[in-house]
């Protein structure tokens, strides 16, 4: 068996961990100055001090100081919807010192219970969030809500500014993670949708949709491969990277099977062996909490297991060991960094 890609994954994870550790060392050293800037309400000073430190972790991260829940202030360092950066933001928050009376730390924007009273800035204009209205559509049998957003000022903004304002409004209404989890298509509009409702009703609509997906299940999907061969996939549902933000490592395990039916799908002894392998894989991963079997699919004498794991852990080595003695041929394991779960993109909810 060959294990591909592990070196690159380890190096990428190592650099991220070093950058995060460097930030928190800097934070402890700079804390008195930061406390003074916050106390003085010096936003420009905070930007000059905090901005470069966050950029040193990654220039794509976005930060803000917001009112805290338990503490007076919350430092939020977020991927701002960038799935590639979400694991990094969550590792940053995981490594944070314990919250105290002044500071708490978050990897995503949280819902604001007073969202309708807020004003957001976009395109040089201030927009009252309470004036947003939304057209909402729930696709049949889908765990999401599609949103068409309207604000009376949208006619003054260009397309990018309209989208920026809409995303900020949704983050305040639902919290950034629930936007990623439950909101599907997002379309800012310069004309109010016919069936628009006040934006403050969005959380209730999302809560109603979410109530139908209180737990995961496995779906069986049937189709054809690119070469026209029969293909069967079993998929966790809902399947969303935001639910497991630290699992940024893709472990692809491809194993051959000898016994096939007329469509090239596993049969007989091979089907039993694959079921046993799936059970042993789940028994290995489920107690760990840092890896999960997301999808497996079978076609033309090959089964491909898609596993996602925390790249700072050792799940890949354990998965490799599990398939070392696969009895029906040579197993192949390939490990890559895939924070956005692009390898299973067709199956994401």
Give the range of the structural domain holding residue 287, as residue numbers without chain letter: 217-347
Q: Are 87 and 162 contained in the same domain? A: no
Task: For residue range 20-77, list pLDDT tens digits in order.
Answer: 999 999 999 999 999 999 999 999 999 999 999 999 999 999 999 999 999 999 999 9
Q: Are 234 and 292 contained in the same domain? A: yes
Q: Are 147 and 184 contained in the same domain? A: yes
Provide the CATH number for the domain around residue 256. Answer: 3.30.70
Q: Are 202 and 222 contained in the same domain? A: no
Residue 94 is predicted with a pLDDT of: 96
Q: Are 226 and 249 contained in the same domain? A: yes
Which of 47, 78, 106 marks a domain boundary? Answer: 106
Q: Are 276 and 314 contained in the same domain? A: yes
**pTM to 2 decimal places:** 0.88
Of 155, 160, 152, give the one whose Cα is nearest residue 122. Answer: 160
Distances from the Cα of 166 to the Cαs of 89, 169, 192, in angstroms?
22, 5, 14
Residue 99 DSSP code:
P
Q: Are 124 and 99 contained in the same domain? A: no
Sequential DSSP letters for 267-287:
-HHHHHHHHHHHHHHHHHHTT
Of 298, 316, 181, 321, give the one whose Cα is nearest residue 250. Answer: 316
Which of 210, 235, 254 marks a domain boundary? Answer: 210
| Domain count across the chain | 3
Tens place of pLDDT per residue across the chain (349 aa): 334 455 554 555 567 889 999 999 999 999 999 999 999 999 999 999 999 999 999 999 999 999 999 999 999 999 998 999 999 999 999 999 999 999 999 999 999 989 999 999 999 999 999 999 999 999 988 899 999 999 999 999 999 999 999 999 999 999 999 999 999 999 999 999 999 999 999 999 999 999 988 888 999 999 998 899 999 999 999 999 999 999 999 999 999 999 999 999 999 999 999 999 999 999 999 998 899 999 999 999 999 999 999 999 999 999 999 999 999 999 999 999 999 999 999 999 8
Q: Are 102 and 123 contained in the same domain? A: no
Which of 81, 106, 131 marks a domain boundary? Answer: 106
Q: Are 233 and 163 contained in the same domain? A: no
175 CA to centre of own chain: 13
Q: Are 328 and 224 contained in the same domain? A: yes
Q: Are 49 and 126 contained in the same domain? A: no
Q: Are 81 and 119 contained in the same domain? A: no
Residue 234 is predicted with a pLDDT of: 97
C-beta separation of 202 from 178 below 8 A: no
Distances from the Cα of 125 to the Cαs of 65, 77, 117, 156, 164, in angstroms?
21, 24, 16, 9, 12
Q: Which residues contact 42 (CB under 8 A, 6 or more apart)?
A: none
């Amino acid at each position: 068996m060959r294990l591909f890609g592990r070196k690159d994954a380890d190096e990428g994870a190592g650099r991220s961990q070093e950058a995060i550790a460097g930030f928190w060392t800097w934070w402890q050293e700079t804390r008195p100055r930061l406390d003074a800037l916050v106390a003085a309400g010096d936003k420009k000073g905070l930007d000059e001090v905090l901005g470069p430190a966050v950029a040193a972790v990654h220039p794509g991260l976005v930060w803000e100081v917001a009112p805290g829940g338990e503490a007076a202030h919350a430092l939020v360092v977020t991927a701002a919807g960038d799935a590639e950066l979400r694991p990094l933001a969550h590792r940053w928050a995981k490594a944070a010192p314990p919250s105290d009376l002044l500071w708490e730390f978050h990897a995503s924007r949280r819902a604001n219970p007073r969202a309708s009273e807020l004003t957001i800035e976009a395109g040089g204009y201030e927009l009252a969030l309470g004036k947003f209205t939304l057209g909402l559509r729930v696709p049949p049998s889908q765990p999401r809500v599609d949103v068409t957003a309207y604000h009376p000022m949208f006619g003054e903004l260009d397309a990018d500014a309209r989208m920026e304002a809409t995303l900020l409004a949704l983050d305040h209404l639902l919290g950034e993670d629930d936007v990623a989890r439950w909101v599907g298509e997002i379309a800012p509009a310069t004309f109010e949708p016919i069936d628009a409702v006040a934006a403050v009703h969005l959380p209730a609509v999302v809560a109603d949709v979410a109530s139908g997906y209180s737990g995961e299940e496995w779906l069986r999907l049937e189709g054809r491969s690119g070469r026209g061969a029969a293909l069967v996939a079993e998929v966790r549902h809902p399947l969303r990277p935001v639910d497991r933000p630290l699992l940024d490592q893709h472990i692809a395990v491809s194993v051959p099977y000898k016994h096939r039916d007329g469509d090239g799908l596993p049969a007989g002894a091979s089907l039993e062996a694959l079921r046993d392998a799936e059970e042993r894989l789940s028994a290995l991963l489920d107690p760990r909490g840092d890896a999960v079997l997301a999808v497996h699919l079978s076609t033309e004498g090959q089964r491909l297991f898609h596993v996602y794991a925390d790249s700072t852990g050792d799940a890949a080595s354990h998965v490799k060991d599990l398939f070392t003695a696969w009895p029906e041929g040579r197993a192949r394991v390939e490990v890559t960094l895939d924070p956005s779960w692009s390898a299973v993109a067709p199956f994401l909810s």
